[in-house]
Amino acid sequence: MKMNIVILVFVFLNITNLINGGITSKYVRQAQPSTEMPLTTFPSPAGHNSPEQVHISQGDYNGRGIIISWVTPLNLAGSNVVTYWKTVDGDVKPQKKRTHASTSSYRFYDYTSGFLHHATIKGLEYDTKYIYEVGSGESVRQFSFTSPPKVGPDVPYTFGIIGDLGQTYASNETLSHYMSNPKGQAVLFPGDLSYADDHPNHDQRKWDSYGRFVEPCAAYQPFIYAAGNHEIDFVPNIGEPHAFKPYVHRYHNAYKASKSTSPLWYSIRRASAHIIVLSSYSAYGKYTPQYVWLEQELKKVNREETPWLIVMVHSPWYNSNNYHYMEVDLVISGHVHSYERSHRISNVKYNITNGLSSPVKDPSAPIYITIGDGGNIEGIANSFTDPQPSYSAYREASFGHAVLDIKNRTHALYTWHRNQDNEPVAADSVMLHNRYFLPVEELASGNV
């Protein structure tokens, strides 16, 4: 099964230098830590026991399910109920339905969470707008989402891509910048959410403030998360020996629908994309549960139905930044706090005796995106290797987000947007050609 792509590269040479390996942008954001927004920036909504931190994610394998999650201070009657209905035209009365959420809470050091509600709704109609309400009485809050189109090879769909967001003023720029683009339908998020672990005793209040911060986006379009190192929260010295405890309590996904045994690795199909989420911080050697699951999942990939195969994993496999140094269409990672896009490369010829350890261009290999540039408290990573490696196509030390606009089975436009530009400006832009359906030679960088 070949999983190849060809790319067209469009670059803005007035802001860049052409190096051996590609383009290193002249635009460099200062590297000092970003200023975090105080806890009071995003207060809880008014009203008694009002739902907050509302967010949604795909709730099944093929896009006919949704997981709606929210938090309430108290576990009162009706606080775990979600009411939903399809939008209708004219005077037709909507047919409202209700479902109950599972409810839990957790303790972490000296913190006790609110009540975490997760409701899974299945059997949705494709490509349909739904209204939903959570809460009860005068504290009801209303939101909406649109279900994806039915899975198919020529179904257009637009994903936003944001990583390592945190909750700084730069994070707010990134999220606002993305939300200004009306085309975004769902967000691929390769890890590092709240950065609560950057505070004393992994201050869990920062998980609450993060949930309130992203709610204006995350309550209306699904976020597909991979877990990053800032989600581990393994602190045995303060009595917290269970990794990923806050993350798995707060952010549910439909991992069982893809036959996974852990919420840290799973897959979904959405429109014309098959998305595989992996865990950088779980065992992945041969015969481990994650490895065995991935072997089986790759056998289920059907490029005739979902031509775009995307892998999301937090720690990047290739990047040319000195920070954290060391057949798929696109591999999306975060972790390194800058932006970089590779050529289609692999090091499959490497073995321990031949010394061929440098990645080389490979028409059957993926493009690797490192997008840990959401705006987190630790600041930008601006120390790139020099000269630029041959596998690196474009890199820039600034904050931003990306958009993957799938057109059909053969073409998808990928763009990256720095925070300092207006949304229509793409600092980096690549037209992806799906090699499975369009087996043509790659054009040289900068040619159309």
CATH for 326: 3.60.21.10
Residue at 287 is within a domain: yes
Residue at 367 is within a domain: yes
Q: How far apart are CA 331 and CA 1, in angstroms?
A: 17
Residue at 251 is within a domain: no
Q: Which domain holds residue 378?
A: 151-191+264-447
Query: What is the DSSP track for 86-114?
Result: E---TTPPP--EEEEPEEE--EETTEE--
Residue at 350 is within a domain: yes
For the chain, what is the domain count?
Answer: 1
Residue at 208 is within a domain: no
Burial 29-41 (b: 16+ CB within 10 A, else e): beeeebebbeeee
Between the CA of residue 421 and those of 158, 173, 174, what are the distances in Å? 20, 11, 11
Omega prior to 387 cis, within 30 of 0: yes
Task: Give the list of residues 6+ apart from residue 86 with CB closer than 8 angstroms, or none.
Answer: 94, 95, 125, 128, 129, 130, 131
324 has catalytic annotation: yes
pLDDT tens sequence for the chain (448 residues): 433 332 222 222 233 333 345 666 666 555 556 899 999 999 999 999 999 999 999 999 999 999 999 999 999 999 999 999 999 876 778 899 999 999 999 999 999 999 999 999 999 999 999 999 999 888 999 999 999 999 999 999 999 999 989 999 999 999 999 999 899 999 999 999 999 999 999 999 999 999 999 999 999 999 999 999 999 999 999 999 999 999 999 999 999 999 999 999 999 999 999 999 999 999 988 899 999 999 999 999 999 999 999 999 987 554 444 443 336 888 888 876 778 888 887 765 555 455 555 677 777 788 888 887 777 766 666 656 667 777 788 888 788 899 999 999 999 999 989 887 766 678 888 888 897 898 664 454 432 2
Extract the tokens encoding 365.
């290999």
Extract the tokens encoding 316.
């990047």
Which residue among 48, 117, 314, 324 is the active-site one? 324
Residue at 133 is within a domain: no
Is the full-model pTM beyond 0.85? yes
Backbone angles phi, psi at 51, to 5 degrees: -65, 145
Residue at 384 is within a domain: yes
Q: How far apart are CA 208 and CA 256, in angstroms?
A: 26
Extract the tokens encoding 336.
């390194």
Residue at 346 is within a domain: yes
